[in-house]
Amino acid sequence: MRTLFRISRSSSSLIAAILAISCSFLIPLSTESKVEPFYASAVFQSANHSAHGSWTAAAIPTLQCPIGICKVGGFPFDVDWNCSKCRRCPVNGPWKKHTGADLRADPKTEVVAAETGTVKDVYSAGDGWASAILVEHSNGNSKYLTLYMHVDTTLKPGAHVDRGKPIATVAAISDAHLHFGLWMGPYDPKVSENHRGALPACAQGATSCFDGKYNDRCFPQSWVDPMPYLQNSSPQPRVVVSTSLRISQGNAVAPSGAFGMGKIDGTFTVTNRGNSKISMKQLLLAGRLGDTCPNNQCPDFQPMPRNITLEPNQTFSYAGSFTPQRPGTYNFDVVYENQDGKWQWPVNSENGTKNHIIIIVEPGPTLNSANPAQLSASSKRQTVILSGTGLGRTLYCRVVLPNGQVTNIYVPLQQVLNSSSNRIELNTEFRMRGTYYIRAHTLLTYSNELTIQVR
């Protein structure tokens, strides 16, 4: 993940990033040739579910997750309702749509009924795709169906099933997962035609779409995304960065994006947007110098307290600091470690918040000596030569006068351009007796303080 982030930020790696994007596109396209199988119902002849009269969305209660914890991602379609990974049908025709959620599940995982109902059909989900179960549920006058695809079952049509009670197990097919569908409307007994998990969204007037192998009926609008109806029954924490990661130089010298060697402050907020609590072993603003941890010491911000627990919608705000030990390009990410030792890197962000920052830390110049180090107060300009290292990019010297006032003396452009210079000529009037404190400032950082005594 780190590598991907770096690629996306680096213009020299733009081509690599494009290639990476193309590749991630190609993978689902190739697996997509393994089309999800058919499911049949004559109900589909109407693409307008209002024809079913009594149905309203409110009639669907909160459903129980059929496999304990519902997480999409069991198959390339996930819960890709627009089915951007599906084919057009036929070529240049309408896009197909995915008609359910592909839930992560290991083979043999017990499948339970999402709600009490009656089994209406048990049928082959296609060669190599095991079986499908269609269950009808009632809520007052409203009826709706749930579909469990790619399972093994002994149930027969007509069987009564209870919410939360086993009805099947996830089949041990390659790409094992549970395709869970939710159909808003009653079952139609004229089940004779096949329907697959990914169906064509035909243009108006068309009733079917032949893709060269299957003649699919048009995408029936009565299939809806089941995930919102499962939310309350699928306990999942979901930690997101809810306030952007921000870092700033402790002394406010540096413009954004570039920093000096001084202390750097960092803040961000994470929120648990899931519906169950999470206990993080460790939450961290993790750093890398480039992509590495020099000498096995990662340039992390001050660690936070361990074992941070967040209830749903609870927030944790971080504020800490970090002092770079060497110049270079740094990457920082908001990350956390689960109790099982796995890292979430980086933590997801919401609403465009930032969870990753790259900064450049510039080395600061060093002042070693002033010549002369002691001089007499005078109303005439006097020249003092400051020597040290890394003074070439000095733009100005910040001078604290003996009375505490501060003035900036700008360095002649000639000296600024001479980036190899290790000396600065300070040409000014030293009128007051006492100690002058001098620092050399570059655009990003500044040097140590040097003193000049004036008698």
User: Residues in the site for Zn ion, rule: CB under 5 A?
Assistant: 36, 77, 102, 179, 197
Q: Identify which of residues 14 and 29 has a Cβ nearer to Zn ion in the complex.
A: 29
Tell me the closest approach of the beta carbon of residue 127 to Zn ion, in angstroms.
16
Tell me the closest approach of the beta carbon of residue 196 to Zn ion, in angstroms.
9
Q: Identify which of residues 181 and 287 has a Cβ nearer to Zn ion in the complex.
A: 181
Tokens of 300: 């992390």
78 close to 104: Cβ distance less than 8 angstroms: no
Q: Identify which of residues 117 and 197 has a Cβ nearer to Zn ion in the complex.
A: 197
DSSP state of 56: -
Tokens of 170: 């996830």
Tell me the closest approach of the beta carbon of residue 34 to Zn ion, in angstroms.
11
Half-sphere exposure of 440 (CA within 13 A, CB side): 30
Q: Identify which of residues 179 and 288 has a Cβ nearer to Zn ion in the complex.
A: 179
Ramachandran sector of residue 107 (left: φ over 0; alpha: ψ -120 to 50; beta: rest): beta
Tell me the closest approach of the beta carbon of residue 75 to Zn ion, in angstroms.
6
Q: Identify which of residues 195 and 439 has a Cβ nearer to Zn ion in the complex.
A: 195
327 close to 362: Cβ distance less than 8 angstroms: yes
Tell me the closest approach of the beta carbon of residue 279 to Zn ion, in angstroms.
33
Strand partners, 142: 139
Tell me the closest approach of the beta carbon of residue 77 to Zn ion, in angstroms.
5
Q: Report the alpha-carbon distance of residue 223 to residue 198 in Å, rounded.
A: 11
- CA-CA distances (angstroms) from residue 50 to 184, 203, 208, 217? 10, 19, 20, 18
Q: Report the alpha-carbon distance of residue 232 to residue 100 in Å, rounded.
A: 18
93 close to 212: Cβ distance less than 8 angstroms: no
Residue 277 CB coordination number (10 Å): 13
Q: Identify which of residues 102 and 216 has a Cβ nearer to Zn ion in the complex.
A: 102
Tell me the closest approach of the beta carbon of residue 197 to Zn ion, in angstroms.
4
Closest CA to 315 of 236, 231, 232, 239: 239
Listing DSSP states for 237-260 in one string gives --EEEEEEEEEEETTS-SPTTEE-
Q: Identify which of residues 102 and 115 has a Cβ nearer to Zn ion in the complex.
A: 102
Q: Identify which of residues 197 and 266 has a Cβ nearer to Zn ion in the complex.
A: 197
79 close to 70: Cβ distance less than 8 angstroms: no
Tell me the closest approach of the beta carbon of residue 177 to Zn ion, in angstroms.
7
Tell me the closest approach of the beta carbon of residue 50 to Zn ion, in angstroms.
26
Strand (E) or helix (H) holding 22: helix 14-31
Closest CA to 211 of 197, 219, 199, 220: 199
397 close to 439: Cβ distance less than 8 angstroms: yes
Max distance between CA atoms of the chain, in angstroms, equals 107
Tell me the closest approach of the beta carbon of residue 171 to Zn ion, in angstroms.
13
Q: Locate tokens 């406010």: which residue?
A: 252
Closest CA to 247 of 226, 263, 231, 270: 263
Tell me the closest approach of the beta carbon of residue 178 to Zn ion, in angstroms.
9
Q: Identify which of residues 103 and 370 has a Cβ nearer to Zn ion in the complex.
A: 103
Q: Identify which of residues 34 and 165 has a Cβ nearer to Zn ion in the complex.
A: 34
Listing DSSP states for 398-422 in one string gives EEE-TTS-EEEEEPPHHHHH-TT--
Q: Report the alpha-carbon distance of residue 196 to residue 123 in Å, rounded.
A: 12
Q: Identify which of residues 31 and 54 has a Cβ nearer to Zn ion in the complex.
A: 31
